[in-house]
Amino acid sequence: MTGTPLRVGTRASLLARTQSGHVADALAAALDRDVVLVEVTTAGDVSAAPLVSFGGVGVFVSALRDALVRGDVDVAVHSLKDLPTAEHPDIALAAVPLREDPRDVVVARDGLTLGELGPGARVGTGSPRRASQLHALGLGFDVAGIRGNVDTRIRKVREGEYEAVVLARAGVARLGRLDEVTEVLDPLQMLPAPGQGALAIECLRVRSDLVDDVRQALEDPRTRAAVTAERVVLADLEAGCSAPVGALAEVAEGDDGDELWIRAVALSLDGSLAVRRSMTGRPEDAAGVGHRLAEEMVVDGAGSLLEERVP
Ligand SMILES: NCc1[nH]cc(CCC(=O)O)c1CC(=O)O
């Protein structure tokens, strides 16, 4: 290996460093180059305030993007679900690697499942999407906000502060903590966040050779199609609706080539109202499928879920 090392920017958390480390190894092998990880601290890592209080989804992402734009790093690795749906003018989503299992999981006391927890059980999540779907189960959970990394959240169950927490399986898996999981949630009951379990590898658009190399090295076209459809649904619903949204698309071989299947839900915060829809289409038309699905959901009332039910 020769030349200057490729600088891969990562958040400093253990989860981020673990997933970025895998990306760095894969890039080093595919490009036959030295690769170094560069840690970038983000507002989301520093503040313990609820995420919604300081600008929502973009907080984990902007510091890494700033480092790309400044030229401090060549490549940035994010959890794709943390990316804002709007494209950045100067930054390309160079690659979407094969995603992990996108489902949510439960870590509950005494090995319990959600169905085995009693009414009034205190279940921790900081995500409106998870909170509303927990309420929608109708089990009377006391859904309470929680912050902190995966480790902290699991510890809060151990220490009795919460009877259960809901987490992304992908994050728990990347940290090697799957033995703590007491239930893997069926997407029928808990649709994951759009892009959950997938990584986003970004580079500056002007560095088109690097964009090509990174795509060649890491891209999984089926994951790209799936997350494209999911994120289009989110973007379209965000335009006319601030309700929590879950979406999960899968691409599988059909009789006539690959087929994309997507399910999505938008809910009122208290979970009492939900619009659920699914659709199939071709992976090449992933964005089109997402647009049509969102349109059907709006016709079904997704846009007015929150306005009518402000608590
Ligand atoms: N919200 C923060 C966040 N961003 C990505 C993951 C997990 C990994 C992933 O979904 O790719 C998590 C933790 C969680 O939701 O449990």
Question: In the prediction, which pLDDT does 239 show?
Answer: 73
Q: Report the separation in Å between the CA atom of 300 and the middle of ligand 1, taken as the mean of its atom positions.
A: 29
Tens of pLDDT, residue by residue over 66-97, are 999 999 999 999 999 999 999 999 999 999 99
Q: Determine the topology of domain 226-308 in CATH.
A: Double Stranded RNA Binding Domain (3.30.160)
Q: What is the pLDDT of residues 171-200, one digit of tens each?
A: 999 999 999 999 999 999 999 999 999 999
Residue 307's pLDDT band (boundaries 50, 70, 90)? low
Nearest CA-CA partner of 302 in 236, 246, 241, 230: 241
Asked if residue 105 has pLDDT above 80, the reply is yes
| b/e code 106-115 from CB counts within 10 Å (16+ = b) | bbbeeebebe
* Rounded Cα–Cα distance for residues 293 and 77 (Å): 29
Q: Give the pLDDT of residue 53.
A: 43
> What pLDDT does residue 240 have?
67
Structural domain boundaries in the chain: 6-97+198-219, 104-184, 226-308
Q: What average pLDDT does the chain have?
A: 92
- The fraction of the chain above a pLDDT of 90, given in percent, is 84
Distance 171 CA to ligand 1 centre (A): 6
- Going by alpha carbons, the residue nearest to atom 11 of ligand 1 is 197
The pLDDT confidence band at residue 54, using thresholds 50, 70 and 90, is very low
Q: Please report, as a single letter, which amino acid is at residue 156.
A: K
User: Which atom of ligand 1 has the smallest separation from the CA of 167?
Assistant: 16
CATH 3.30.465.10 assigned to domain 6-97+198-219? The reply is: no
* SS3 per-residue string spanning the chain: CCCCCEEEEEECCHHHHHHHHHHHHHHHHHHCCCEEEEEECCHHHHCCCCHHHHCHHHHHCHHHHHHHHHCCCCEEEEEHHHCCCCCCCCEEEEECCCCCCCCEEEEEHHHCCHHHCCCCCEEECCCHHHHHHHHHCCCCCEEECCCCCHHHHHHHHHCCCCCEEEEEHHHHHHCCCHHHCCEECCCCCCCCCCCCCCEEEEEECCCHHHHHHHHHHHCCHHHHHHHHHHHHHHHHHHHHCCCCEEEEEEEEEECCEEEEEEEEEEECCCCCCEEEEEEEECHHHHHHHHHHHHHHHHHCCHHHHHHHCCC
Choice from 81, 157, 165, 166 to test ligand 1 binding pocket (greatest atom count within 8 A of CB): 81
pLDDT recorded at residue 305: 85
Per-residue pLDDT tens for 107-148?
Answer: 999 999 999 998 999 999 999 999 999 999 999 999 999 988
Task: Answer whether 6-97+198-219 and 104-184 agree in fold.
Answer: yes
Q: Which CATH superfamily is domain 104-184 in?
A: Periplasmic binding protein-like II (3.40.190.10)
Q: Dump pLDDT digits (tens) for 199-212.
A: 999 999 999 999 99
In this structure, which residue's CA is closest to atom 7 in ligand 1?
A: 171
Higher-confidence residue of 135 and 53: namely 135
What is the set of active-site residues? 81-82, 129-130, 147, 153, 241
Mean pLDDT of 271-294: 97
Share of residues in the chain with pLDDT > 70 (%): 91
| Mutate which of 45, 169, 177, 196 for ligand 1 pocket (most atoms within 8 A of beta carbon) | 196
How far is 203 from 68, CA to CA, in rounded Å? 7
Q: What is the pLDDT at residue 43? A: 62
pLDDT beyond 70 at 253: yes
Q: pLDDT at position 44, please? A: 59
Distance from the alpha carbon of residue 10 to the mean position of ligand 1, in angstroms: 14
Asked if residue 58 has pLDDT above 80, the reply is no
**Taking a C-beta distance cutoff of 8 angstroms, is the pair 266, 281 a contact?**
no
Residues at CB less than 6 angstroms from ligand 1:
79, 81-82, 167-168, 170-171, 196-197
> What integer pLDDT is reported at residue 51 of this predicted model?
46
Structure confidence at residue 41 as a pLDDT band (50, 70, 90): confident
Tell me what the mean pLDDT of segment 37-61 comes to.
Answer: 63
To test the ligand 1 pocket, which listed residue (79, 146, 174, 191) has its Cβ within 8 A of the most ligand atoms?
79
Cα gap 14→92, rounded to integer Å = 25
pLDDT of residue 231: 97
With helix as H, strand as E and coil as C, how does 196-217 read? CCCEEEEEECCCHHHHHHHHHH
